[in-house]
């Protein structure tokens, strides 16, 4: 599988002890960490997990004869 690069709008907030981060496009994905770098890594992993799970769920019900391809968009 080829590696894809995707860009997301994310927000980081500093709490009393931890940073929290969340993604505008994927509200289910959020991260936290004692440092901004830890929070960013946590959020990246959460985004990957959500996208992987969504992909598996959707593709599991696609008929074998369906046409599948990669669609590239510029926004």
CATH of the domain at 63: 3.30.160
**Does the pTM exceed 0.85?**
no
Instruction: Kindly report, residue by residue over 25-52, the tens digit of the pLDDT.
Output: 999 999 999 999 999 999 999 999 999 9
10 Å Cβ neighbour count for 10? 19
Query: Predicted confidence band at 1 (pLDDT cuts at 50, 70, 90)?
Result: low
Domain that holds residue 60: 1-75
pLDDT band at 75 (very low <50, low <70, confident <90, very high): confident
Q: Distance between CA 51 and CA 56 in Å, rounded? A: 9
- Domain count across the chain: 1
Q: In whole numbers, what is the pLDDT of the chain averaged over residues?
A: 93
- pLDDT of 2 reads 64
């Amino acid at each position: 599988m080829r590696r894809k690069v995707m860009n997301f709008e994310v927000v980081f907030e500093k709490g009393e002890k931890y940073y929290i981060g969340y993604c505008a496009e994927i509200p289910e994905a959020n991260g936290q960490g004692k440092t901004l770098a830890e929070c960013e890594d946590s959020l990246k992993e959460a985004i990957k997990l959500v996208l992987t799970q969504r992909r598996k769920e959707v593709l599991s019900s696609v008929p074998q004869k369906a046409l599948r391809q990669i669609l590239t968009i510029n926004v």
